[in-house]
């Protein structure tokens, strides 16, 4: 990571909250790197136009925050795709974060099962997902190899899945906090979605210090206790600080990301980097849909005709594209 630090050597935390931003930070004394994500209007745009049941919207919001926290730690230009596939009432989530600032999200779910889950009080994020997997893909365009990381979903929430992924696959001690809620404010009609998140990673110079006691070696007979290395003091301190973060601190429009970081790490000194903007922006286009339709066979396209037209609705942003069947019948025309 090569973000250039802000040149001011020390200053008070800014009290000005900024919605729809990513704030990267570093705590040198504890060998920590991280990010705070604050979503206001952008997440409200994404979640409102889908009109998902509230627990599904909340889950999509959490996945969106997670995708931005993870995607923005990577040094690349392209698209970070977070996707779940599982057997719960919400069978698929797809979140795209396209560098530097575009986010879109959608869910596929069984409306009857979601309604039943809500009615029986079993609509927590973990219960909505059920069992399956979460995949993270980095797509840097057609000329680059795609990287994919996968972690099992086992009835737990996305924070747990993220911790499990970093423990097993990356072996980077990591804590993630995600929060999503609807805000009612005087003078504004209706409720508005807000979301926030925090990612903290322990990245010491010496990799030995990042070894985790709960990484089981797997080849020890059952019943034998292992003499495992204790966790590094710096990471224990960092983790316990992150555990004090409450949802409201990640969501409250009156608390800035810098104030949150100051509250957590002021005793150690925290350095913030240039804040980056986020926006709800879909990458669909008439040209893209045109190309997609041409990639089907004529028979398949014939099956898509309804009332004399082919109508395609984007699952991410609900944009609707209407084509005359003859418009897309010749393959290869751009
Ligand atoms: Zn779209």
Per DSSP, what are the bridge partners of residue 193?
182
**Distance from the alpha carbon of residue 289 to the mean position of ligand 1, in angstroms:** 10
**Distance from the alpha carbon of residue 154 to the mean position of ligand 1, in angstroms:** 31
Question: Per residue in 267-319, pLDDT tens?
Answer: 999 999 999 999 999 999 999 999 999 999 999 999 999 999 999 999 999 99
Higher pLDDT, 239 or 205: 239
**Distance from the alpha carbon of residue 264 to the mean position of ligand 1, in angstroms:** 38
**Distance from the alpha carbon of residue 137 to the mean position of ligand 1, in angstroms:** 19
| pLDDT at 186 (0 to 100) | 72
Contacts of 81 (CB under 8 A, 6+ apart): 67, 94, 95, 96, 135, 136, 137, 138, 139
Beta strand extents in the chain (DSSP E only): 21-27, 32-39, 79-86, 90-98, 102-109, 131-139, 147-154, 174-184, 191-202, 271-272, 276-277, 279-280, 305-306, 309-313, 320-323
Please give the Cα distance from 215 to 212 (Å, whole number): 6
∠ CA 194-197-201, rounded to 5°: 175
Kindly state the percentage of the chain with pLDDT values over 70.
Answer: 90
| pLDDT at 276 (0 to 100) | 94
Judge residue 129's burial from the number of C-beta atoms within 10 Å of its C-beta, 0-12 exposed, 13-18 middle, 19 or more buried: buried
**Distance from the alpha carbon of residue 30 to the mean position of ligand 1, in angstroms:** 42
**Distance from the alpha carbon of residue 315 to the mean position of ligand 1, in angstroms:** 7
**Distance from the alpha carbon of residue 317 to the mean position of ligand 1, in angstroms:** 4
Beta sheet of 131-139, edge-to-edge order = 147-154, 131-139, 79-86, 90-98, 102-109, 279-280
**Distance from the alpha carbon of residue 273 to the mean position of ligand 1, in angstroms:** 31
Q: What is the dihedral of CA 53, 198, 282, 48, to 10 degrees?
A: 30
Reference 150, options 164, 160, 136, 162; nearest CA is 136
Mean per-residue pLDDT for 145-154? Answer: 90
Judge residue 204's burial from the number of C-beta atoms within 10 Å of its C-beta, 0-12 exposed, 13-18 middle, 19 or more buried: middle
Contacts of 100 (CB under 8 A, 6+ apart): 276
Reference 282, options 317, 313, 320; nearest CA is 317
**Distance from the alpha carbon of residue 311 to the mean position of ligand 1, in angstroms:** 14
Please give the Cα distance from 156 to 279 (Å, whole number): 28
Q: Is 136 helix (H, G, I), strand (E, B) or coil?
A: strand
**Distance from the alpha carbon of residue 130 to the mean position of ligand 1, in angstroms:** 27
**Distance from the alpha carbon of residue 194 to the mean position of ligand 1, in angstroms:** 21
Please give the Cα distance from 263 to 118 (Å, whole number): 36
Please give the Cα distance from 25 to 22 (Å, whole number): 10
| pLDDT at 44 (0 to 100) | 96
Query: Does the pLDDT value for residue 5 go beyond 90?
Result: no
**Distance from the alpha carbon of residue 173 to the mean position of ligand 1, in angstroms:** 36
Contact 273, 307 (CB under 8 A): no
**Distance from the alpha carbon of residue 212 to the mean position of ligand 1, in angstroms:** 42
Query: Does the pLDDT value for residue 6 go beyond 70?
Result: no
* DSSP string for residues in 266-277: TTT--EE---EE
The whole model's pTM is what?
0.88
| pLDDT at 194 (0 to 100) | 96
- CB burial readout 232-248, b (16+ within 10 A) else e: bebbebbeebbeebeee
| pLDDT at 190 (0 to 100) | 78
**Distance from the alpha carbon of residue 314 to the mean position of ligand 1, in angstroms:** 5
Instruction: Label residue 21 by pLDDT band (50, 70, 90).
Output: very high
Query: Does the pLDDT value for residue 80 go beyond 70?
Result: yes
Question: Per residue in 194-231, pLDDT tens?
Answer: 999 999 999 998 777 776 555 555 565 666 665 566 78
**Distance from the alpha carbon of residue 61 to the mean position of ligand 1, in angstroms:** 17
**Distance from the alpha carbon of residue 280 to the mean position of ligand 1, in angstroms:** 10
């Amino acid at each position: 990571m090569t973000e250039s630090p802000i040149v001011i050597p020390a200053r008070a935390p800014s009290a000005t909250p900024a919605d729809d931003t990513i704030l990267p930070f570093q705590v040198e004394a504890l060998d920590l790197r991280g990010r705070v994500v604050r979503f206001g209007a952008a997440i409200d745009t994404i979640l409102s136009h889908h009109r998902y049941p509230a627990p599904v919207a909340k889950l999509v919001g959490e996945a969106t925050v997670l995708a931005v926290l993870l995607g923005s730690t990577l040094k690349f230009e392209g698209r970070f795709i977070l996707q779940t596939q599982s057997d719960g009432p919400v069978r698929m989530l797809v979140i795209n974060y396209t560098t530097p600032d575009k986010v879109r999200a959608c869910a596929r779910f069984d409306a009857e099962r979601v309604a039943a889950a809500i009615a029986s009080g079993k609509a927590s994020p973990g219960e909505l997902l059920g069992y399956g997997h979460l995949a993270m893909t980095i797509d840097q365009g057609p000329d680059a190899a795609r990287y994919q990381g996968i972690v099992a979903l086992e009835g737990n929430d996305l924070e747990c899945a993220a911790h499990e992924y970093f423990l097993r696959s990356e072996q980077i001690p990591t804590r993630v906090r995600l929060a999503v809620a609807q805000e009612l404010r005087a003078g504004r009609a209706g409720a508005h979605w807000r979301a926030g998140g925090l990612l903290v990673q322990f990245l010491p110079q010496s990799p030995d210090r990042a070894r985790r006691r709960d990484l089981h070696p797997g080849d020890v007979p059952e019943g034998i206790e292992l003499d495992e290395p204790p966790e590094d003091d710096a990471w224990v301190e960092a983790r316990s600080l992150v555990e004090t973060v409450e949802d409201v601190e990640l969501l409250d429009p009156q608390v800035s990301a810098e104030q949150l970081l100051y509250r957590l790490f002021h005793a150690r000194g925290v350095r913030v980097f240039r804040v980056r903007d986020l926006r709800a922006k879909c990458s669909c286009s008439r040209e893209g849909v045109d190309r997609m339709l041409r990639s089907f066979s004529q028979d398949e396209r014939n099956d898509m005709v309804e009332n004399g037209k082919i109508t395609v609705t984007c699952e991410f942003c609900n944009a609707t594209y209407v084509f005359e069947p003859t418009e897309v019948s010749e393959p290869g025309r751009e």
